Amino acid sequence: MTILRLRGREFRPGEFAIMAVVNRTPDSFFDRGRTYGFPAALEAVDAAVAAGADIVDIGGVKAGPGAEVDPAEEIRRVADLVAAVRRRHPELVISVDTWRAEVGEVVAQAGADLLNDTWGGVDPELAGVAAKHGIGLVCAHAGRVAPRTRPHRIAYADVVADVVGYTVALAERAAAAGVPRESILIDPAHDFGKNTRHSLEIGRRLDELVDTGWPVLVAVSNKDFVGETLGGLPVDERHAGTMATLAISAWQGARVFRVHDAASARTALAVIGALRR
């Protein structure tokens, strides 16, 4: 495994990085708009840093279906927050969850260090933005579906093979475009273009992604596959299932963990790190 470098920080093989989620959306599936207001979002970043987050991932568009958010509105929601966080936390790695190159350009200028392309390269210009600014890029697998859609009865001959092939191709394309290789991650994107069975299969075989050599990010926090696996638990009752999934992912070699509860994740991963050593 390689060293991951973001904003001058080095995350070596065997080290885990916590990526805390802060959404400036009025309709987030998890907090239902609690951090939509600017002061609340800034306070959430402060709390995540205090809880041990290495990275904060700022999003301006709900992942699932909902009200249309055009690029101008997405920029309004995230750009000023990125700039304020950059001033407030100079050493913090700031990530922005976006699939749009025009949004990526603005937030890169505002101080972002990583573009989290959850929808898997639907805008091919986004990698060029990351390359231009010398920042990182997350290359995800979303089943080749349009952003914010939930495909009906999606199928794969082998979902893990599809994830590996697609994310590695995106990562190599990003590197060829000039994105620093040591700042590229791959993400299987549990639940994105996948059903619960697919997400569980990825969880069982995550080591196959790790074996590619690219640092692996997992974003499983409170997701639907966790709730469905546990009998249909609502979002606010998925914490224990989330921690179990994080532990299995870390044991197999995942490096970055996108979570809603940074403190719990930091504690759980500290135990996993000690066991692996």
SS3 track for the chain = CCCEEECCEEECCCCCEEEEEEECCCCCCCCCCCCCCHHHHHHHHHHHHHCCCCEEEEECCCCCCCCCCCHHHHHHHHHHHHHHHHHHCCCCEEEEECCCHHHHHHHHHHCCCEEEECCCCCCCCHHHHHHHHCCEEEEECCCCCCCCCCCCCCCCCCHHHHHHHHHHHHHHHHHHHCCCHHHEEEECCCCCCCCHHHHHHHHHCCHHHHCCCCCEEECCCCCHHHHHHCCCCCHHHCHHHHHHHHHHHHHCCCCEEEECCHHHHHHHHHHHHHHHC
| pTM across the whole model | 0.96
**pLDDT tens digits, 121-147:** 999 999 999 999 999 999 999 999 999
142 domain residue, yes or no: yes
Report d(CA 247, CA 110) in Å as an integer: 34
9 domain residue, yes or no: no
231 domain residue, yes or no: yes
Q: Domain containing 232 — which CATH number?
A: 3.20.20.20
Report d(CA 13, CA 37) in Å as an integer: 37
57 domain residue, yes or no: yes
Report d(CA 4, CA 24) in Å as an integer: 27
**pLDDT tens digits, 181-193:** 999 999 999 999 9
Percent of the chain whose predicted confidence (pLDDT) is above 70: 100
180-210-117-95 Cα dihedral, nearest 10 degrees: -70
Question: Is residue 187 within 8 Å of residue 138, measured between CB atoms?
Answer: yes
Report d(CA 125, CA 131) in Å as an integer: 10
For the chain, the domain total comes to 1
Q: What string of pLDDT tens digits covers the 277 residues of the chain?
A: 689 999 999 999 999 999 999 999 998 877 778 999 999 999 999 999 999 999 999 999 999 998 999 999 999 999 999 999 999 999 999 999 999 999 999 999 999 999 999 999 999 999 999 999 999 999 999 999 999 998 889 999 999 999 999 999 999 999 999 999 999 999 999 999 999 999 999 999 999 999 999 999 999 999 999 999 999 999 999 999 999 999 999 999 999 999 999 999 999 999 999 998 8
Question: Is residue 34 within 8 Å of residue 45, measured between CB atoms?
Answer: no
266 domain residue, yes or no: yes
- Full domain range(s) for residue 25: 15-276
